[in-house]
Structure 1
Amino acid sequence: MKKVLLSLFAAVLLAFGGMSTVQADEYLRVGMEAAYAPFNWTQNDDSNGAVPIEGTNQYANGYDVQIAKKIAQSMDKELLVVKTSWTGLIPALTSGKIDMIAAGMSPTEERKQEIAFSDAYYTSEPVLVVSTDGDFANASTIEDFSGAKITAQQGVWHVNLLPQLVGANAQTPMGDFSQMRQALASGIIDAYISERPEAMTAESANKKFKMITLDPGFEVAESDAAIAVGLRKDDTENLVKVNAVLETISEDERVALMDDMIAKQPAESSDEEETPNFFQQVWAILKKNWKQFLRGTGITLLISMVGTIVGLFIGLLIGVYRTAPKAANKALALLQKVFGWFLNVYIEVFRGTPMIVQSMVIYYGTAQAFGISIDRTLAAIFIVSINTGAYMSEIVRGGIFAVDKGQFEAATALGFTHGQTMRKIVLPQVIRNILPATGNEFVINIKDTSVLNVISVVELYFSGNTVATQTYQYFQTFTIIALIYFVLTFTVTRILRYIEKRFDADTYTTGANQMQTEVVK
Structure 2
Amino acid sequence: MMKGFNRRLLAVGATVIAALGLAWPAQTTHAADNGTFKVGMEAGYAPFNWTQSTSANGAVKIQGSQDYANGYDVQMAKKVAKALGKKVVVVKTDWDGLAPALTSGKIDAIIAGMSPTAERRKTIDFSSTYYASKLTVVVRRDSKWAKAKSINDFKGAKITAQLSTFHYQAIKQMKGVIKETAMNNFPAMRVALESGTIDGYVSEVPEGITAQDANPNLTYLKFSKANGFKTDPADVDLAIGLRKGDPDKATINETLAKISTAERNHLMDEAVANQPTTDKQGNWLLAILKQYGPMLLRGTGMTLLLALVGTLVGFIIGLLVGVIRTIPRQKKAAQRGLLAVGNWLLSVYIEVFRGTPMIVQAAVLYYGAAQVMHINMDKTLAALVIVSINTGAYIAEIMRGGIISVDEGQFEATHALGMTHWQTMTKVILPQAIRNSLPAVTNEFIVNIKDTSVLSVISVSELFFTGETISGQSFQFFHTYLIVSAIYLIMTFTISRLFRLIEKRLDGPKNYNVENNQMQVVTPTIK
Calculate the TM-score normalised by the size of structure 2: 0.88
Structure 1 residue 52: Cα displacement: 0.9
Give the SS at the match of 1:143: coil
Corresponding residue for residue 51 of structure 1: 60
Contact 2:279 2:287 in 1 (8 A): no
Contact 1:43 1:470 in 2 (8 A): no
Aligned residues: 480
Structure 1 residue 137: Cα displacement: 1.6
Within the alignment, does 1:262 sit opposite 2:272 as a pair? Answer: yes
Give the SS at the match of 1:144: coil
Q: Structure 1: which amino acid aligns with 2:421?
A: H
Structure 1 residue 23: Cα displacement: 6.3
Deviations 1:62-105 (A, max 9, x none): 11111110111112211111010111000000111111111111
Going from structure 1 to structure 2, the CA distance change for 1:343 and 1:506 (only over 3 Å counts) comes to farther
Give the one of 284, 291, 306 matched to 1:303.
306
Going from structure 1 to structure 2, the CA distance change for 1:506 and 1:410 (only over 3 Å counts) comes to farther
Corresponding residue for residue 419 of structure 1: 422
Distance between the aligned counterparts of 1:92 and 1:446, measured in 2?
Answer: 25
Deviations 1:417-471 (A, max 9, x none): 1111111110000000000000011111111111111111121112222222221
Give the one of 451, 464, 487 matched to 2:454.
451
Corresponding residue for residue 228 of structure 2: 217
Q: Structure 2: which amino acid aligns with 1:217?
A: G
Distance between the aligned counterparts of 1:270 and 1:316, measured in 2?
Answer: 51
Deviations 1:91-139 (A, max 9, x none): 0001111111111111111111111111111121110001112232212
Corresponding residue for residue 117 of structure 1: 126
Corresponding residue for residue 399 of structure 1: 402
Give the one of 63, 67, 70 matched to 2:72.
63
Distance between the aligned counterparts of 1:23 and 1:52, measured in 2?
Answer: 18
Give the one of 25, 35, 43 matched to 1:26.
35
Q: Is there any run of 5+ residues in structure 2 with no aligned partner, and where?
A: 1-30, 513-518, 520-527
Distance between the aligned counterparts of 1:212 and 1:260, measured in 2?
Answer: 22
Q: How does 1:82-161 map to 2 (within 5 A)?
A: 82-161=91-170
Corresponding residue for residue 39 of structure 1: 48
Distance between the aligned counterparts of 1:442 and 1:101, measured in 2?
Answer: 35
Q: Structure 1: which amino acid aligns with 2:235?
A: D
Corresponding residue for residue 11 of structure 1: none
Range with bigger deviation, 71-80 or 481-490: 71-80
Distance between the aligned counterparts of 1:337 and 1:106, measured in 2?
Answer: 54
Q: Structure 2: which amino acid aligns with 1:254?
A: R
Range with bigger deviation, 250-259 or 92-101: 250-259
Corresponding residue for residue 17 of structure 2: none
Give the one of 231, 253, 263 matched to 1:253.
263
Range with bigger deviation, 44-53 or 483-492: 44-53
Distance between the aligned counterparts of 1:326 and 1:370, measured in 2?
Answer: 38
Within the alignment, does 1:324 sit opposite 2:333 as a pair? Answer: no
Calculate the TM-score normalised by the size of structure 1: 0.89
Q: Is there any run of 5+ residues in structure 1 with no aligned partner, and where?
A: 1-21, 510-515, 517-521
CA RMSD of aligned residues (A): 1.7
Contact 1:384 1:445 in 2 (8 A): yes
Structure 1 residue 506: Cα displacement: 7.5
Distance between the aligned counterparts of 2:74 and 2:297, measured in 1?
Answer: 27
Give the one of 149, 166, 182 matched to 2:175.
166
Corresponding residue for residue 437 of structure 1: 440
Range with bigger deviation, 195-204 or 456-465: 456-465
Distance between the aligned counterparts of 1:424 and 1:506, measured in 2?
Answer: 21
Structure 1 residue 264: Cα displacement: 2.0
Deviations 1:384-414 (A, max 9, x none): 1111111111111110111000000001101
Distance between the aligned counterparts of 2:228 and 2:347, measured in 1?
Answer: 57
Contact 2:46 2:473 in 1 (8 A): no
Within the alignment, does 1:360 sit opposite 2:360 as a pair? Answer: no
Give the SS at the match of 1:346: helix
Distance between the aligned counterparts of 1:290 and 1:247, measured in 2?
Answer: 41
Q: Structure 1: which amino acid aligns with 2:357?
A: P
Within the alignment, does 1:229 sit opposite 2:240 as a pair? Answer: yes
Q: Structure 2: which amino acid aligns with 1:304?
A: A
Range with bigger deviation, 428-437 or 465-474: 465-474
Corresponding residue for residue 207 of structure 1: 216
Give the SS at the match of 2:144: coil
Distance between the aligned counterparts of 1:392 and 1:443, measured in 2?
Answer: 13
Distance between the aligned counterparts of 1:320 and 1:448, measured in 2?
Answer: 27
Corresponding residue for residue 18 of structure 2: none
Structure 1 residue 251: Cα displacement: 2.1
Q: Structure 1: which amino acid aligns with 2:249?
A: L
Give the SS at the match of 1:118: strand
Distance between the aligned counterparts of 1:372 and 1:390, measured in 2?
Answer: 24
Going from structure 1 to structure 2, the CA distance change for 1:224 and 1:168 (only over 3 Å counts) comes to same
Corresponding residue for residue 184 of structure 2: 175
Give the SS at the match of 1:136: helix
Structure 1 moving runs of 4+ over 6 Å: none
Distance between the aligned counterparts of 1:291 and 1:24, measured in 2?
Answer: 31
Give the SS at the match of 2:248: helix
Distance between the aligned counterparts of 2:155 and 2:340, measured in 1?
Answer: 64
Give the SS at the match of 1:445: helix
Corresponding residue for residue 240 of structure 1: 250
Give the SS at the match of 2:146: coil
Range with bigger deviation, 485-494 or 457-466: 457-466
Contact 1:38 1:62 in 2 (8 A): yes
Higher relative CO (Cα under 8 Å, sequence separation at least 6) belongs to 2
Q: Structure 2: which amino acid aligns with 1:369?
A: V
Contact 1:286 1:480 in 2 (8 A): no
Corresponding residue for residue 519 of structure 1: none
Give the SS at the match of 2:40: strand
Give the SS at the match of 2:33: coil
Q: Structure 1: which amino acid aligns with 2:314?
A: G
Corresponding residue for residue 12 of structure 1: none
Q: Structure 2: which amino acid aligns with 1:310?
A: V
Structure 1 residue 28: Cα displacement: 0.8
Structure 1 residue 54: Cα displacement: 0.9
